[in-house]
A and B are shown apart, each in its own frame.
Chain A
């Protein structure tokens, strides 16, 4: 690598460090990168619980694969330098006065932007498919196919629990989240007080719950399963205890469950404000 200007200082018998390093790096990358991609990649979160989650795993897997040779490049170069160029004399001996190398700089200037642009393009492509499970604000730009038929579920964050309203089922509000399997769900995340963040881990969903904002996120459920719900934005005293378990169940079971919820919460539903995308409580300055 560092040939050219440094040549005059190199001792004739010295090995070609640049070639040695390249061989080490390429060898290690060829071995390690597929191993990482094949074994570690599929184990990455959030798992296969939804189409969005699957996308994210795929994304994580790709990035880990690209990142591996970069990591190896720096670590092997660092290790090589430390071993090969350590000072062997007690007194100070200056190295060759190399102040740069146009070829390496140019190569670096070409390769790093290529990698970066690829990563950004890849991520953007994944994002525009269906929003990748992230909150998209009130007017989502990245909608999955068939979004018109999606099931609307409102997620309301409040200190310190999430509740859920089903506008297509008479606006019933329940403290439990149950979703039908193999269904495209449109979650409307909003809050009544501080900022919360609705995180359904296995579904690959995260969206901030803001007062006065309808934060839309799409998720395509798959097989029946249980999933963890956390609040992922510091929201005050009991933020650490703001977690729950949600369920994806077969459609028939969901129909039964929602009917039961409707009848159970009927007295409450009457008293609730009419379903809206957001609810603005009175400005309470000392609610905490």
Chain B
């Protein structure tokens, strides 16, 4: 029962991580977080159908509770358009046309942000408030958290675009030690080439934004059409 790991600590040099590990982590993280997101919104879908079926006190959906389909369609379409733009940007990035990707990325951010703003504007135009029965509760709750997830995803997208933008003139290269981490103890970067981060980040955010936009489509179908 002595050393089962032969000379495990006999080297004084610390070996680096495989460079593709970060991308793999991000990818699996995005998929796992998407599944958690799905279960979060599942609660709202369940609430919708459950309260609709119960229709307690006949207050599921009083007459005046009738959101405008046009508004909902615009918000949903903008989110989907933004997600498609990110997908397009990913294709450009894969093809090595980074200049184009950056422009498409910024456009996707603007379109996505417009969707978020219009959602807030929509609330102000409605003729009912959150107190008006079961449907109104689900409507306000679900759209609010859809908005929150949209904003979170846009923040992530912004991070990827920002990294790509900041190092647009650099082919590759390392920033100074300790930069960005705020940690004076750090002596070196784990990441030698910041631009190498853009692709995995972009792949992950593209998947996740597509997923959130798809949830937006589900919201549109359930809340506005059904």
Contacts and interface: CB of A to CB of B under 8 A. Distances in A.
* A and B: interacting chains: yes
B125 interface: no
Contacts of A212: 56-57
Contacts of A92: 1
A280 B1 contact: no
Interface in B52-110: 56-57
Contacts of B57: 212, 280
Interface in A234-288: 280
Dominant secondary structure at the A interface? loop
Interface residues of B, number: 3
Interface in B92-139: none
Dominant secondary structure at the B interface? helix
Interface in B1-46: 1
A281 to B, nearest CB: 11
Contacts of A280: 56-57
Contacts, number: 5
A269 B80 CA distance: 61
Interface residues of A, number: 3
A142 B56 CA distance: 25
A89 B68 CA distance: 81
Nearest to A280: B57
A93 B1 CA distance: 11
A226 to B, nearest CB: 37
Nearest to A212: B56
A92 B2 CA distance: 13
Interface string A144-178: 00000000000000000000000000000000000
Interface in A62-92: 92
A212 B57 CA distance: 8
A212 B56 CA distance: 7
Contacts of B56: 212, 280
B192 to A, nearest CB: 45
A282 B30 CA distance: 45
A280 B1 CA distance: 72
A215 to B, nearest CB: 14
A92 B57 CA distance: 72
Interface string A201-243: 0000000000010000000000000000000000000000000
A280 B56 CA distance: 9
Nearest to B56: A212
Nearest to B54: A212
A210 to B, nearest CB: 11
Contacts of B1: 92
A144 to B, nearest CB: 28
A280 B57 CA distance: 8
B215 to A, nearest CB: 31
A39 to B, nearest CB: 47
Nearest to A92: B1
A107 B56 CA distance: 51
Interface in A84-105: 92
A19 B56 CA distance: 63
A212 B58 CA distance: 11
A284 to B, nearest CB: 14
A259 B57 CA distance: 34
A92 B1 CA distance: 10
A226 B200 CA distance: 72
Interface in A42-59: none
A140 B56 CA distance: 19
Nearest to B57: A280
A248 B56 CA distance: 35
Q: Which 5 A-B pairs have the closest CB atoms?
A: A212-B56, A280-B57, A92-B1, A212-B57, A280-B56
5 contacts: A92-B1, A212-B56, A212-B57, A280-B56, A280-B57
